[in-house]
A = this chain, B = another copy of it.
Amino acid sequence: MNFASDNTCGAAPEMIEALRIANGGAVPSYGEDGLSARLKAELARLFEHDVAVYPVITGTAANALALSTLVPPHGAIFCHREAHIATDECGAPELFTQGATLVTLAGLHGKISPDALEQATSRFVRGSVHHAQPAAASITQVSEMGTCYRHDEVRAIAEIARRHGMKLHLDGARLANAIAFLGCTPAEATWKAGVDTVSFGMSKNGALAAEAVVFFHPEEVRDFEFRRKRFGHLISKMRFVAAQLLCALENDRWLHWARSANARARLLAGILRDIADVEVVHPVDANLVFATLPESLILKLRSAGAKFYDWSPPERGRRLVRFVTSFATSQSEIEQLRAACA
C-alpha cells in the first residue's frame, strides 16, 4: 500500500528487458546511436508533427533546460503557485535561466486561468529594462492537484501567451495520465492546443529514469544542446535512455500504464468518498487523490501499512493528505486500503 508517490515503485519489467536488448554491441555515444534516431521518428509519428527531441533523466532537468532555452535571463515565466517548477525544484528554473523571474498565480484546483494570466502579464511594462519581460507560460498537465486542463482551457492560455509574445511550455511529468483521462491524441493535448515545448516525462510512468524535451518548433531549440551538455545532462550511453522511452511507446504501453494508474485512483477516491468524515477536495482526473481525513483514520491507515504524504498541518483533528497511484499499483493494494478504511 505505497501511495506516497509515483516514483517509489520500480520500473516496469519490460523496461529492464528493453535495456537488456539495447545493450548489444558498440554504438556511437552521446545520442548518435540508432535507438536515439528511432526515438525521434517515433515521437514525430506519435505527435503527428516534426519534433526536436532531447532525452534527459530528470523532470527538473527537462523543465529547467526547456525554460532556459525559451526564456532570456530578463524574462518572466508565469505558472501556477503550486507548479512543480515553483515549489519542488529548489530554484532550478531561476538558476538555469541566469535569474529569470518566476511569477506564480493562484488558480482553482491547481490550474491557472486565462484571466489570471492576462492580468498578471499586464503588470510588466514591455520594453522597460526595469521590468522582467513576459516570455513564457508554463502549465502542468496533469496539474499538481491531479486535475487536467481541457483543450479549450489550454487553447485560451495559449492564445494569451501568443498575444503577449510568450511561449507555452507544458510540464508533462504525468502527460500520459492526462491523455489517458482526456481520451485525446498526443497532438491534441499539445501543439494542436498551442503548446510549444513539452517536458515529456516517463520516470513516473514505468521508466527507470527517462524524460525528453520535445520542441515542436525547431527554431526554438537554439542552443539547447549546448545547455544540456553544460548542465551535465548529456549522457554518454544515450541509447539506454532512448530505449526506455521507446519501450514505453511500443504498443502504447505508456497509455495502458497511465490508464491503470488512473483507474486505481478513481477506485481509491471512491473508497474515500464513501466515508462520511472524508472529503475529496479536487476532481480526481488522473492518478492523484487529495482528501481531508480525520487524524484517527490517518493513523489507522498508516498502522495498516499505507504510505501517503501529509499535505497540510493538522487542523481541528483533520488533515489534507495525498494519495498517488502508479502503473504498478495493484488491485489488491486498493482492496487492502478499502479493508483498512473499514
Contacts and interface: CB of A to CB of B under 8 A. Distances in A.
A276 interface: no
B90 A94 contact: no
B74 A90 contact: yes
Interface in A184-223: 203-204, 208-209, 223
B92 A60 contact: no
A232 B93 CA distance: 10
Nearest to A75: B91
Per DSSP, chain A at the interface is loop
A209 B59 CA distance: 17
* Number of copies of this kind of chain in the complex: 4
Interface stretch (A24-32, A282-290, A296-304): A24-32
A61 interface: yes
Interface stretch (A150-158, A164-172, A234-242, A256-264): A234-242
Contacts of A8: 26-29
Contacts of A230: 73-74, 89-92, 95, 99
A64 interface: yes
Given A5-B29, A10-B24, A74-B91, A209 B233 contact: no
A249 interface: no
B129 A228 contact: yes
Interface of A: 2, 4-5, 7-11, 13, 16, 19-20, 22-30, 56-62, 64-65, 72-74, 87-102, 122-123, 129-133, 203-204, 208-209, 223, 225-237, 239-240, 307, 313, 328
29 contacts: A2-B26, A7-B236, A8-B27, A10-B24, A10-B237, A11-B240, A16-B16, A16-B23, A30-B129, A57-B235, A58-B232, A58-B235, A60-B234, A65-B232, A73-B230, A87-B123, A89-B130, A90-B101, A90-B131, A91-B100, A92-B99, A92-B232, A94-B99, A94-B100, A96-B99, A203-B236, A204-B236, A209-B237, A233-B233
